[in-house]
Amino acid sequence: MTHQLLQHKRGVIFGVLDRDSLAWAVARQCKDEGAALVLTNTETSLRLGPVLELAAEVEAPFIPADATNIDDLRRLWQEAQQHLGGPIDFVLHAVAQSDNIRRHRAYEEASHNYLMHTLDVSALSLHKLLQTAMEADALSEGASVVTLTYIASEQAMANYSDMGDAKALLESIARNFGRAYGERKGVRINCVSQSPTPTRAARQCESMDRFRHYVNALAPLGNADAESCAKVCTMLFSDYTPHVTMQTIYNDGGFAHTGLTDRVVKENAFGI
């Protein structure tokens, strides 16, 4: 059931790759709620997933852009506004990549060249996105920006390598730009900290299935799926959260604030 929460709103969704993408779940939900969309990702994404097919399903153009490239972003804001017929009301930043994780390098053995690339793609891209949007005056008054984060920004997580550093930086950028953009144009910027979800990127982490089982046992409400994430993002995009900004919202079934549950003990999820 939908409520047309985003009727007459214009949105840009960064990061759709395939049907397992969190960005795809968000795009579908936004479309169902009445929004007009533009999807974007890198040129490489066209070879990696059915991006154009997915864009057609939500009746959105796909405008290729590298979120780490200032020129690409400037062109994207211009073309997106031209297509949608006005300034952008909401943006999803679902952009992340770690070559250290992909190559199974532990945090203490991370390549620093890879680390710099991780930070650029997974965190600084949000700064670049917001900076270029501000320069172009691409966002509407009171627009909403959401980026996807993870509890590893606060807690040390095995097998998450340098992405914990990236998520911590990402959240800092959201807070600082939330202050600046909020003062300038009432733009809200928030983070959604999602349960481990079996996206293509997440499956590159070692022992992901076992870890998801453990998190599911620890979280009082269990793991939140992609559709749940999409609903939270839609709420933040809507007019029902006009003063929610610079926050990290935990869509993780309570995992971030739970020390131990009976289910963990009964299922011996610790392996002891």
Report pLDDT digits (tens) over 230-246.
999 999 999 999 999 99
Give the pLDDT mean for 42-56. 95
| pLDDT band, very low/low/confident/very high, at 267 (cuts 50, 70, 90) | confident
Q: Check if the beta carbon of residue 20 is closer than 8 Å to that of residue 199.
A: yes
First to last CA, the chain: 44
Residue 162 phi/psi, 5° resolution? Answer: -85, 0
Pick the more confident residue, 1 or 72. 72
The CATH class for the domain spanning 10-253 reads alpha beta
| pLDDT band, very low/low/confident/very high, at 271 (cuts 50, 70, 90) | low
* 124: its two tokens: 């600084």
**Domain residue ranges in the chain:** 10-253
DSSP 44: T
For residues 12 and 262, give the distance between their C-alpha atoms in angstroms, rounded to a whole number: 42
pLDDT tens, position by position, 206-230: 677 888 888 999 999 999 999 999 9
User: What's the pLDDT at 272?
Assistant: 47
Average pLDDT, rounded, for the chain: 94
Residue corresponding to tokens 């990696």: 48
pLDDT tens, position by position, 93-152: 999 999 999 999 999 999 999 999 999 999 999 999 999 999 999 999 999 999 999 999
For residues 196 and 41, give the distance between their C-alpha atoms in angstroms, rounded to a whole number: 22
pLDDT tens, position by position, 2-19: 899 999 999 999 999 999
* 137: its two tokens: 């005056």
| In the predicted structure, residue 54 carries a pLDDT above the cut 80 | yes
Q: Of 16, 132, 15, whose CA–CA distance to 71 is shortest?
A: 132
126's CB contacts (< 8 A; 6+ apart) are 93, 95, 147, 170, 173, 174, 177
Q: Check if the beta carbon of residue 63 is closer than 8 Å to that of residue 79.
A: yes
User: What's the pLDDT at 205?
Assistant: 66
User: What's the pLDDT at 264?
Assistant: 79
DSSP E strand boundaries for the chain: 10-14, 36-40, 88-93, 139-149, 188-194, 248-251
pLDDT above 70 coverage of the chain, percent:
96
Pick the more confident residue, 62 or 205. 62
Q: What is the CA radius of gyration of the chain?
A: 18
